[in-house]
Homo-oligomer: A and B are copies of this chain.
């Protein structure tokens, strides 16, 4: 009457076979005669046997579970990424476990150095705040693929979006539709390799250069936390400072959604007074009022690439794949695409 969980030996005894045969029935790694198989399955069902995955992991080094490590789970971007990855893994009988590090270098660095990723067959790490030096010092035991918009050490596999091009075509769209003073909300020192905000700001600069327009530095509005309130506050600040503007490139859809709220609050009409374009193509962005013109950052391509790179590491070199300091990683850039909706005016 002890509620102790039965083990393979228990099942084996009940079925009159050895533990090895039970294992073979369960894993299918070696052929088993139908009769034996049936006896084992019956015994397992009878005893309510459940495989102990921890023991399997210790022995076989495999959990069939991939970790996705992100800064914040309450940001829809990561939720959508997680859902997409789960959808790709499920048909293969693999699982995704998502963990949050909280934004900032401390949490992310801790994430990397922690032994707990051994619980997983591989780790997809969304990097926001780490420096290349931080990343360079990293040794992980499990296969590792980095996701993020900053420059990463060459030895790690890395998947990112085409931020500069995305921001450039988005800004070009605003300019083509008549905006002349396009604010960049979430703007920063332009730099294609220094993270999401600098890279997208670089695209904003490039679009202006291509159009022969000198952008006003007053139109660069920082948004450190990149959340909804930051977007709304950016508009408040522009209005309060009397900086005229007739277009907004928000570097994320979340910021753009906040911008729409700020514009409504200020009594500015979208797209008539101010055109707005975002970046990320979140599910909700098709349902804002008005619906958001935005940049699809190649979600599917990123998810596919990330898993392909992970599997590539798991393959040849064994667990040492990412640990080899001399290794050269693969760096994938997903293609972007402009999605035109109601927050911008038709282009002639």
Interface size on A, residues (CB 8 A): 63
**Interchain nearest-CB distance for A324 vs B (Å):** 7
Q: Please, which residue of chain B has its CB at the minimum distance from the CB of A64?
A: B116
- A53-B116, A119-B119, A141-B50 are contacts. A95–B99 as well, Cβ < 8 Å? yes
Q: Does A346 contact B (CB under 8 A)?
A: no
Please give the count of copies of this chain that the complex contains. Answer: 2
The CA of A115 and the CA of B53, in the complex, are separated in Å by: 7
Q: Which of A102-139 contact B (CB under 8 A)?
A: 102, 115-116, 118-119, 139
B287 engages A119 (CB within 8 Å):
no
Q: State in angstroms the CA–CA spacing of A65 and B139 once bound together.
A: 22
Stretch at the interface among A70-78, A191-199, A239-247: A70-78
Bound complex: CA A320 to CA B54 (Å): 18
- Is B116 within 8 A of A95, CB to CB? yes
Whether the pair A74, B80 counts as a contact (CB closer than 8 A) is yes
- Minimum CB–CB distance from A315 to chain B (whole Å) comes to 16
Render A60-89 as a binary contact track against B, CB cut-off 8 A, 1 for contact.
000111010000111110111011101100
Asked if A35 is at the interface (CB within 8 A of a chain B CB), the reply is no
The answer, yes or no, to whether A165 is at the interface (CB within 8 Å) is: no
Binds B, one of A170-178, A209-217, A257-265: A257-265
Bound CA span A238–B218, Å: 46
Q: In the complex, what residues of B have CB within 8 A of residue A323's CB?
A: 3
Are B65 and A74 closer than 8 Å at their CB atoms?
A: no
Would you give 7 A-B contacts (Cβ < 8 Å), ordered by A?
A50-B118, A73-B79, A74-B84, A227-B283, A228-B283, A261-B288, A288-B288
Which 8 pairs from chain A and chain B are nearest by CB? A74-B83, A97-B97, A79-B79, A73-B82, A50-B115, A261-B287, A3-B320, A98-B98
